[in-house]
Amino acid sequence: MEKVTGYKLLVELFGEKEAEEFEINEVEDMEGVEDYEQQSLGVSGWIHTILHSFRFEGKRYSVQEESHTSDSVYDSETLWDTFQEVEEVKTVLLWITHQQDKTYRHDELINPQELYEKMVSNGTENVGVDVDGKTVMTIEIKEFPGIIPVEFLRLFVDRFISLGDKPIEIVPVKQV
C-alpha cells in the first residue's frame, strides 16, 4: 500500500476547505496541532529552506518551505509535494522492577533486546520473569520522544535505583 503524501495527505487530514486555506506559518494555532517546530535546512543563493514539523492526532508530519532571504522581498512557497508523515525517533527503555528480596542482574536471566523485540511482536507492554515458580522481576517498555543523551542515561543504566520500595534497573534497547 502506497503512502499518501503531499497535498492529498493534507486534504485527508484537514479536509478540502481547510487544505485550500492552509498556511504553514499558522499551523501551530490550529486545534489539535502540538509540538510545532521549525528547522533550517540551509540557504542556497537567495533561498532559505525551512523544515516545519508538527504532531497531529498522534502522528508527526513535516513539510518544507522555501523563502527568499532578501530584506526587501517577502516571498515564500510551501512545497506541498514534501508534505509527509514522519517516523518519530524515540528512546526506548526496559524498566525492570525486582519483586523479591534477592535481586538478579537482568543479564543473568534475559537478553534485553531479544525480549523487547518479542514483546513488541506479541503486542505485550509488560512481562514477568520467573525463577523456581516465583516472579523475580517485571519488565515494562517505556518510550520517550526524542533521544535522551547518553551522558544522562549513564547515571541510571547498569545500576539498581530505588523509586519506591522495590529496586529498579533501567536498560536501553534499540527501537523496532
pLDDT score recorded for residue 1: 65
Give the residue from 71, 77, 66, 21 showing the smallest Cα distance to 44.
66
CA 3/CA 10 separation, integer angstroms: 13
Q: What 3-state DSSP class applies to 91?
A: strand
Asked if residues 139 and 126 have their Cβ atoms less than 8 Å apart, the reply is: yes
pLDDT score recorded for residue 64: 95
pLDDT score recorded for residue 75: 87
pLDDT score recorded for residue 68: 87
Question: Domains of the chain: which residue ranges?
Answer: 6-86, 90-173
pLDDT score recorded for residue 114: 92
CA 16/CA 22 separation, integer angstroms: 10
CA 7/CA 78 separation, integer angstroms: 11
CA 157/CA 169 separation, integer angstroms: 7
Query: Running along the chain, 176 residues long, what does each successive block of 10 average in pLDDT?
Result: 89 91 88 90 91 90 91 86 88 86 76 92 90 90 80 77 79 86
Asked if residues 116 and 93 have their Cβ atoms less than 8 Å apart, the reply is: no
Asked if residues 54 and 37 have their Cβ atoms less than 8 Å apart, the reply is: yes
CA 149/CA 26 separation, integer angstroms: 32
- The pTM (predicted TM-score) of the whole model is 0.56
E strands present in 101-151: 126-131, 134-145
